[in-house]
Amino acid sequence: MLRIGMLTSGGDCQALNAAMRGVFKVVTNNAKEPVEFYGFEDGYKGLIYGKFRLLREEDFTNILTIGGTILGTSRVPFKTIHEPDEKGLDKVAAMKQTYYKLQLNCLVMLGGNGSTKTANLLNQEGLNVVTLPKTIDNDLWGTDMTFGFQSAVDIATRCIDEIHTTASSHGRVFIIEIMGHKVGWLPLNAGIAGGADIILIPEIPYDIKKVIDVIEERDRKGHRFSIIAVAEGAISKEDAALSKKAYKKKLANYEYPSVSYEIADLIQKATGREVRVTVPGHTQRGGAPCPYDRVFASRLGAEAGKMILDGHYGFMVGYRNREMVKVPLEEVAGRLKTIDPTARIIEEAKLLGISFGE
């Protein structure tokens, strides 16, 4: 009997169900022995507290196009994984106990950076683990692409597209705040696809004066509006120069809902222009996966299923140079894939006339 546990951890995104379906189909269609799949509810919490259910074929029927996750998800921060819960339970020991109680051969984890740290820890503790790269931020080390990213780009791009008409009608400056707390892959790609005039990302601290210069130059050229795509983690050059302690203190007393509203206020005061902020928020995580993500997540799931059948554990299924690869978990855990400010895509965006507020 081959027994496999599966969980989805961290923020939800599109194509989680498609990826799980891929794993299930490949294993059940090709295993030479009976197979049981156990789904842990709400991520690592299910593994910690023994909340699971036996998954059957009907659970994976008609879920290819459905967003979210049929198992539920939650965040169990890695930084607290070694801390006992409120009742004194050792979380790591509890996860191992559940794994061995069910006599699992393998645990499949679909998650992002923090979740992969925990997966790597469990692997080091002797559990057989395989992970799939899930995040709309596309910031997992070791893979060129994560599933959920392209669907989120589609949604954020449509938001920018639809802002264009109202911005031009009223002659306003519009800021669209796009998810991306530590990295800017999502706002960068959506900004280019949506024709943003300015893109502000965490990796390139901005100078508000340069941002204002671009807006005023557009005014002089007769353009009625300007579109700014801002990552939720965008940071000014002044704030980037602060120590971590000083920056945290500033945020503790922050008077704006987010950085986009601060930028809007500064632009409005400097130019007298009407500025509006749009925050698509969690819509970027929701809805059906786009066709690319359905295919990509299915491929990742298929590769994970093959790895399980071959007994290859301790890896994330990655995607490099248009090929699926096995990436050791210790190489992935704790490393973010950020944007190099000198990257070709940044250079090409600048050639297109896009400003990064430098």
Cβ atoms < 10 Å from Cβ of 246: 11
Beta carbons within 10 angstroms of residue 36's beta carbon: 17
- Residue whose C-alpha is closest to residue 63's, from 95, 118, 16, 110: 16
Pairwise CA distance, residues 235 & 285, whole Å? 23
Active site (annotated) includes residue 59? no
Residue ranges of alpha helices (H) inside the chain are 16-30, 44-49, 91-101, 113-124, 149-170, 185-193, 208-220, 237-240, 244-252, 259-271, 291-310, 329-332, 344-351
- Among candidate residues 12, 137, 154, 293, the one labeled active-site is 137
- The secondary element (H helix, E strand) that includes residue 316 is strand 315-320
Contact 240, 205 (CB under 8 A): yes
Task: With beta carbons less than 8 A apart as the criterion, state whether 273 and 215 touch.
Answer: yes
Cα 175 to its chain centre, rounded Å, is: 21
Torsion of CA 99, 335, 110, 185, to 10 degrees: 170
Length of the chain: 358
Could you list the active site residues? Answer: 137
